[in-house]
Copies of this chain bind each other. A is one copy, B any other.
Amino acid sequence: MDQRIAEQTIGRLSLYRRLLDTLMRDCVEHVYSHQLAEKTGFTSAQVRRDLMAVDTAGNTRRGYDVGELIRAIDDYLYAPSGQQVAVVGIGNLGRALLTFFSGRRPKLSVVAGFDVDEQVVDRVIHGCRVYHMDEVDRVVAEDEITLVMLTVPSDAAQPAADACIAAGVSGILNFAPARLKVPPSVYVSHVDLTMYLEMVAFFARQKDGDQGD
């Protein structure tokens, strides 16, 4: 948390981190930057540059110690005590996210859902209780929730975000096709699946036309 860090480096560190889990499981003790590169699709220089951000030291002959690297990335990437996450809007997408992320990672776990529909409120999905939005203040405080994944209809996105922020949330992963206005102390990232699909459509078409590459 010391100097300026490229946004995309954080994303890549997250990918390396998951890869290291599988290496650890396979009892691999050391790994070279070019091996991480190969498995993630980046270049080895990119990997080394990214790892400069974390407190680690590769051995010039054996590469990086897997356990040591895991510790270094964890230290850099995650809060020591972890961060709690809620899913707001338990519709089709919200339910999928809730199911997938609940109790997945110790450092980043989804612990609650919120909705306004009486049909889903108070249900328990994959171990997570769904609360009514009216309870957001209480539950966010009690469960120390700092992040939400926002999967409500786009009209409801801004008010729902406002309610979460008022309750103390400082990070939002927004899936609704709406730009959120938030105070500068809150970080918002926008995942626009329609946009991704249209990008794939365009570039796939372009490749078809170009006859590959």
Contact = CB atoms under 8 A, between A and B. Distances in A.
Interface in A164-213: 170-173, 177, 179, 183-189, 191-209, 211-213
A191 B193 contact: yes
Interface stretch (A6-14, A113-121, A132-140): A6-14
A93 B96 CA distance: 5
A204 B92 contact: no
A31 to B, nearest CB: 16
A150 to B, nearest CB: 11
Interface in A77-130: 77-79, 83, 85, 91-93, 95-97, 99-101, 108
Nearest to A180: B41
A40 interface: yes
A18 B147 contact: no
Contacts of A101: 194, 197
A187 B207 contact: yes
A15 interface: yes
Nearest to A82: B201
A175 B18 CA distance: 15
A136 B78 CA distance: 42
Nearest to A83: B201
Given A1-B209, A191-B196, A93 B83 contact: no
A149 interface: yes
Q: Which 10 A-B pairs have the closest CB atoms?
A: A171-B204, A185-B212, A92-B96, A14-B198, A184-B213, A187-B203, A187-B204, A171-B200, A170-B204, A93-B96
Given A83-B204, A101-B194, 4 more contacts: A146-B205, A171-B203, A183-B212, A191-B196
13 contacts: A1-B205, A11-B192, A11-B198, A14-B199, A79-B201, A83-B205, A100-B193, A108-B197, A170-B204, A171-B201, A172-B200, A187-B200, A191-B191
